C-alpha cells in the first residue's frame, strides 16, 4: 500500500469513526450548556463581534480536537464499554448476575438433544428397535443444538467462568478466545502479525467493520456524556426551581449563575433530555454490539484461513496434525512474549529453506527481460 493510500485510509477512519461522532454530539453539547459559561466571560465572549463572526471556526477547531482524542483513545473507550474500567465491585456484581443460571439458560437445546441421543444409543446397544420418527426428531434436535451453540459462541464465551460484565465485553471476549480454543493461538499476541499476511479484500472488510463499530461506540459515548451533564444540571436545577428561597439563602449571590444558566432550558427539560440521550446512547451501543459480532466473524475467518500463511512467513514449516499445530503455536507465542525467560523453547527441528537459488533465478529473469526491452 502506497503512502497516499495509507494516508487516505487513515483520514477515512478518522472522519468516520471519530470526526462524525464528535461533530454530531459536540455542537448540541455547546448549545445545551452554553448558559452555564462563567457570566462575565460569557458576556464578553458571546457578546463580542469577533466571537459572533468566528464562532463556527472556534467550534470547528473544538470538534477536530475532540475527534482526535476519540480517534487516539479508541482502546480506552472500547475497554470502558467492555466493563474493564468499571469499579471492581460493580464489575464483579455484573459478572455474578450473568453467571446465575448461565448453563441452564443457554444450553437448553443442547441438553435436549443429549438426552434423546443418549436414550437412542442405549436402546440401540440393548438391541431395541428405534422408530424413524425418533431418529428424525433426534436429527432435528441436533440441528437446533448446533444453531444454539453457534449463536452462543458469537455472543459470549462458552463457559460462565469467562464472562464479562457487558454484552460488548462478552462478544469481544468470545472473539479473543476463538483462536486459542481451536488452535492454541493467543489472539492478542498473534493478531498484529497475522494482519500482515491477510489479503487486501479481507483487510478492507475488517477496516470497514471496525470503522462502523467505532462510529457507533464513539457516538454512544458522546451521547452518554451529554446525558450525564444534562442529568447533573437537571438534578441541581430542580431544587432551585421548587425551593428558590431556601436555595438563595444557601448560595446567596451565586444563585444568579444558575438562574442565567437555565434561561435556555429549564431543569425539568434537562432531566427529560438526559433520559432521551441515555436511551439513544443505549440503542447505539446495542447496534455496536451487533457490528462487533460481524467484526468477530472476520477475525475468526482470518485465523481459520490464513494462520498457516503466517507460520510460513515466520519461517516455520506447517505442522501435519492439529495437535502439532497447537504445540507449535504455544511455543511461538511463548517465544514472542518472553523469548527464553520462561525456560528454553523447543521448536520442531528443521532447516530454513535455501532461497538463494530462487533469488538468483529471479534476478536472471529480470535481467533477461531488461535486455529484451532494450
pLDDT tens for 104-133 read 788 889 999 999 999 989 888 888 888 889
d(CA 37, CA 41): 7
pLDDT at 366 over 80: no
The answer for 131, left when phi > 0, alpha when psi is -120 to 50, beta otherwise, is beta
Report whether 169 contacts 293 (CB < 8 A). no
Residue 312 or residue 53, greater confidence: 312
pLDDT at 288 over 90: yes
Cα 173 from chain centroid (whole Å): 10
The values of phi and psi at residue 321, to 5°, are: -130, 165
d(CA 142, CA 212): 35
pLDDT at 7 over 60: no
Predicted local confidence at residue 6, as pLDDT: 45
The burial class, CB within 10 Å (0-12 / 13-18 / 19+), for 98 is: middle
- What mean pLDDT comes out for the span 37-49? 55
> What pTM does this model have?
0.80
Question: Model confidence at 45, in pLDDT bands (50, 70, 90)?
Answer: low
Q: What percent of the chain is predicted at pLDDT more than 90? A: 39
Q: How far from 276 is each of 48, 270, 272, 283, 331, CA to CA, in Å?
A: 34, 10, 6, 11, 52
Question: Model confidence at 238, in pLDDT bands (50, 70, 90)?
Answer: confident
Which stretch, 100-104, 205-209, 237-241, 282-286, has highest mean pLDDT? 282-286
d(CA 328, CA 318): 9
d(CA 26, CA 42): 18
d(CA 129, CA 333): 52
- What mean pLDDT comes out for the span 96-110? 86
Predicted local confidence at residue 241, as pLDDT: 65
Report whether 163 contacts 98 (CB < 8 A). yes
Residue 104 or residue 80, greater confidence: 80
Question: Model confidence at 340, in pLDDT bands (50, 70, 90)?
Answer: confident
Predicted local confidence at residue 115, as pLDDT: 92
The closest alpha carbon to 218, from 62, 32, 10, 24, belongs to: 24
Q: Which three cell numbers mark 40?
A: 462575565
What ranges do the domains of the chain cover? 3-86+165-314, 103-164
d(CA 111, CA 116): 9
Please write the tens of the pLDDT for every residue from 125-176. 888 888 889 889 999 999 999 998 999 899 999 888 899 999 999 999 999 9
- What mean pLDDT comes out for the span 58-86? 88
pLDDT at 239 over 90: no
Location of C-alpha cell 431395541: 128
Location of C-alpha cell 438426552: 115
Predicted local confidence at residue 2, as pLDDT: 47
Report whether 167 contacts 286 (CB < 8 A). yes
d(CA 330, CA 314): 14
Worst-scoring range by mean pLDDT, 118-132, 235-249, 272-286? 235-249
Amino acid at each position: 500500500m502506497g503512502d497516499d493510500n495509507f494516508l487516505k485510509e487513515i483520514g477515512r477512519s478518522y472522519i468516520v469513526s471519530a470526526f462524525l461522532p464528535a461533530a454530531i454530539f459536540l455542537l448540541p453539547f455547546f448549545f445545551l450548556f452554553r448558559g452555564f459559561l462563567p457570566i462575565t466571560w460569557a458576556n464578553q465572549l458571546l457578546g463580542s463581534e469577533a466571537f459572533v463572526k468566528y464562532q463556527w471556526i472556534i467550534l470547528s477547531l473544538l470538534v477536530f480536537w475532540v475527534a482526535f482524542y476519540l480517534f487516539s483513545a479508541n482502546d480506552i473507550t472500547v475497554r470502558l464499554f467492555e466493563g474493564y474500567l468499571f469499579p471492581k465491585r460493580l464489575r464483579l456484581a455484573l459478572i455474578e448476575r450473568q453467571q446465575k443460571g448461565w448453563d441452564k439458560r443457554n444450553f437448553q437445546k443442547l441438553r435436549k438433544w443429549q438426552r434423546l441421543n443418549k436414550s437412542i444409543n442405549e436402546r440401540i446397544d440393548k438391541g431395541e428397535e428405534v422408530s424413524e420418527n425418533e431418529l428424525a426428531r433426534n436429527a432435528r434436535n441436533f440441528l437446533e443444538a448446533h444453531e444454539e451453540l453457534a449463536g452462543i459462541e458469537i455472543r459470549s464465551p462458552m463457559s460462565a467462568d469467562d464472562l464479562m460484565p457487558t454484552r460488548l465485553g462478552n462478544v469481544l471476549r468470545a472473539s479473543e478466545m476463538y483462536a486459542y480454543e481451536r488452535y492454541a493461538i493467543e489472539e492478542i499476541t498473534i493478531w498484529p502479525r497475522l494482519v500482515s499476511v491477510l489479503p487486501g479484500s479481507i483487510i478492507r472488510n475488517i477496516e470497514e467493520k471496525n470503522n462502523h463499530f467505532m462510529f457507533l461506540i464513539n457516538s454512544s459515548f458522546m451521547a452518554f456524556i451529554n446525558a450525564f451533564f444534562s442529568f447533573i444540571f437537571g438534578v441541581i436545577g430542580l431544587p432551585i426551581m421548587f425551593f428558590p428561597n431556601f436555595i438563595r439563602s444557601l448560595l446567596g449571590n451565586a444563585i444568579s449563575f444558575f438562574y442565567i444558566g437555565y434561561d435556555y432550558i429549564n431543569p425539568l427539560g434537562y432531566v427529560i433530555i438526559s433520559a432521551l440521550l441515555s436511551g439513544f446512547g443505549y440503542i447505539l451501543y446495542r447496534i455496536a454490539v451487533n457490528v462487533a459480532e460481524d467484526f468477530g466473524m472476520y477475525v475468526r475467518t482470518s485465523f481459520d484461513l490464513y494462520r498457516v500463511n503466517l507460520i510460513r512467513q515466520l519461517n516455520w514449516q506447517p505442522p501435519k496434525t492439529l495437535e502439532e499445530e497447537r504445540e507449535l503455536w504455544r511455543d511461538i507465542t511463548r517465544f514472542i512474549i518472553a523469548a527464553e525467560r520462561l525456560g528454553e523453547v523447543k521448536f520442531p527441528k528443521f532447516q530454513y529453506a535455501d532461497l538463494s537459488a530462487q533469488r538468483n533465478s529471479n534476478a536472471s529473469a529480470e535481467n533477461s527481460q531488461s535486455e529484451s526491452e532494450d
